[in-house]
Amino acid sequence: MKKRILWLILPLLLWTAVCSAAVSQADFSMGEISLFSHKDIDIIEKFGHAKKQMTDDQRQPPLDYFIYPGIRFGIVQPTGEIAFMSVDTGAYQTVRGIKVGGTVYKVVKEYGEPERQTIKGHRYYVYRLESDPTYRLMFDMSEGYVSRIILTKLSDLP
């Protein structure tokens, strides 16, 4: 009897864990800008001209960076497609309400158990889009708090 109950409960627990950790295309938006639907023109319309702009020619294809206070965008040349967003201020939040300064508890509550990675000495909580795992939502965690939020479809972090 106990085995039968265990076999009934175990799939439910696994299904719940998978559903709570799943991210959708909607999760790849920040400040009304999305990795899926917006181009550099939309950034300029929303934020104005960048305070600082630079180009990374080391990447193929090269990336233009539009840098604003607290938020940075990486745009693929020549298509104008947004490939990277980085937020390091509490002025912006994810669609599920996570901001810089948010707690580990809140991130896990909203997104489920993360894939944990250490990159360049930083501890990241990583969530991937199931339909295309190159899309990653990453929370840079420092002492139990979010210090930076990254949305990217690049294979490495700039």
Q: How many independent structural domains does the chain possess?
A: 1
| Span 97-124, pLDDT tens digits | 999 999 999 999 999 999 999 999 999 9
* Window from 16-20, 109-113, 123-127, 151-155 with minimum mean pLDDT: 16-20
What are the φ/ψ torsions at residue 155 (nearest 5 degrees)?
-75, -25
User: What tokens does 60 get?
Assistant: 């193929």
Instruction: Say if residue 14's pLDDT is above 60.
Output: no
Say which residue, 42 or 29, is predicted with more confidence. 29
User: What CA–CA distance (Å, rounded) separates 88 from 104?
Assistant: 16
Confidence band for 44, pLDDT divided at 50, 70 and 90:
confident
Range of the domain at 137: 2-152
* pTM tops 0.85: no
Residue 157 lies in a domain: no
Residue 66 lies in a domain: yes
Residue 130 lies in a domain: yes
Mean pLDDT rounded to a whole number for the chain:
86
| Span 55-66, pLDDT tens digits | 999 888 899 999
Residue 33 lies in a domain: yes
User: What CA–CA distance (Å, rounded) separates 86 from 137?
Assistant: 10
Residue 158 lies in a domain: no
Residue 80 lies in a domain: yes
User: What CA–CA distance (Å, rounded) separates 115 from 133?
Assistant: 12
Instruction: Say if residue 22's pLDDT is above 70.
Output: yes
Residue 20 lies in a domain: yes
What CATH number does the domain containing 97 carry?
Answer: 2.60.460
